[in-house]
């Protein structure tokens, strides 16, 4: 493992990226007149962020010289799956969309864990990804909670 301490910029961007999840989920619950709009923005943001975390694997495949051709191909292939899940989720009703996004985040984290045997993630990366995944998942659920009857 490398980079024992998480760079401040990564911490600020990573945790700062949770603000829209939290804010839009709360607004979806406390602002009934605009709840549909906030909920839609929350789900769209979730899809965008899911695409972003998937793209990390594309970047690794581009620059890690130790990867086999097979590993590189697998990383390229997987890197687009989260974006497709995010896009696909948008055609569903909000509860289903939120659940698909949560599954996408969980599968992406599982993939990060799986690749840790091959890829030299920074020592702080998997812990960060777990925390961000949990908070994103919780607030996706909070955002659709008013729709559960």
Q: What is the mean pLDDT of residues 16-41?
A: 96
Q: Alpha-carbon distance 41 to 101, whole Å?
A: 13
pLDDT of residue 79: 97
76-91 pLDDT, tens per residue?
999 999 999 999 999 9
Q: How far apart are the first and last CA of the chain?
A: 47
Helix, coil or strand: residue 122: strand
Q: Alpha-carbon distance 80 to 3, whole Å?
A: 27
Task: Name the pLDDT band for 9 (thresholds 50, 70, 90).
Answer: very high
| Residue 104 contacts residue 89 (beta carbons within 8 Å) | yes
Q: What is the mean pLDDT of residues 5-22?
A: 98
pLDDT of residue 2: 59
Instruction: Locate 65 and state its tokens.
Output: 């010289």
| Residue 86 contacts residue 101 (beta carbons within 8 Å) | yes
- In 3D space, the residue among 103, 87, 99 whose CA is nearest the CA of residue 44 turns out to be 87
34-92 pLDDT, tens per residue?
999 999 999 999 999 999 999 999 999 999 999 999 999 999 999 999 999 999 999 99
Length of the chain: 149
Q: Alpha-carbon distance 23 to 16, whole Å?
A: 11
Percent of the chain residues past pLDDT 90, beyond the cut = 94
pLDDT of residue 100: 99
Which DSSP state fits 1? -
Instruction: Locate 77 and state its tokens.
Output: 């292939």
pTM of the full structure: 0.94
């Amino acid at each position: 493992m490398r980079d024992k301490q998480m760079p401040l910029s990564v911490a600020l961007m990573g945790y700062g990226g949770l603000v829209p999840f939290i804010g839009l989920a709360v607004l979806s619950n406390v602002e009934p007149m605009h709840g549909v709009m906030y909920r839609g923005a929350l789900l769209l943001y979730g899809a965008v962020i899911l695409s972003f975390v998937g793209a990390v694997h594309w970047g690794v495949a581009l620059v890690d010289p130790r990867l086999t051709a097979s590993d590189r191909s697998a990383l390229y292939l997987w890197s687009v799956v989260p974006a497709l899940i995010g896009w696909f989720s948008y055609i569903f009703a909000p509860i289903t969309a939120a659940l698909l996004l949560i599954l996408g985040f969980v599968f992406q984290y599982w993939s990060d864990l799986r690749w840790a045997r091959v890829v030299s993630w920074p020592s702080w990366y998997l812990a960060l990804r777990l925390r961000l995944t949990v908070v994103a998942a919780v607030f996706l659920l909070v955002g659709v909670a008013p729709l559960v009857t």
